[in-house]
Amino acid sequence: MVKAGKEDSTRDKILDAARKVMTRKGLAGARMQDIADEAGINKALVHYYFRNKESLFELIFKEAFILLIPKINEIFKGSSVDFFDKIRAFTEAYIEMALKNPFIPMFVLNEVNTNPDAFNNGLLTQLKNLPFNEFYKEIDSAVQKKLIRPIHPPQLMMHILGMCVFPFLAKPMFKKFLNLNDKEFTTLLEMRKVEVADFVIQSLKI
- 103-144 pLDDT, tens digit per residue, is 788 877 776 776 666 555 555 666 666 778 888 989 999 999
pLDDT at 1 over 50: no
Write b or e for each residue in 8-22: b if 16 or more Cβ atoms lie within 10 A of its Cβ, otherwise e. eebbebbbebbbebb
- 28-58 pLDDT, tens digit per residue, is 788 999 999 999 999 999 999 998 888 888 7
pLDDT band at 206 (very low <50, low <70, confident <90, very high): confident
- Which residues have a Cβ under 8 Å from the Cβ of 76 and sit 6 or more positions away? 86, 90, 130, 131, 132, 134, 135, 138
Instruction: List the Cα angle 100/107/177 in 5-degree steps.
Output: 75
Q: Which fold has domain 60-204?
A: Tetracycline Repressor; domain 2 (1.10.357)
Helix, strand or coil, per DSSP, at residue 14: helix
On the CB side of 46, CA atoms within 13 Å amount to 25
Instruction: Kindly state which CATH superfamily the domain 1-50 is placed in.
Output: Homeodomain-like (1.10.10.60)
Helix, strand or coil, per DSSP, at residue 148: strand
CATH 1.10.357.10 residue ranges of the chain are 60-204
Torsion 153-105-58-75 (CA) sign = negative
Per the CB < 8 A criterion, the answer to whether 206 and 149 are in contact is yes
CATH 1.10.10.60 residue ranges of the chain are 1-50
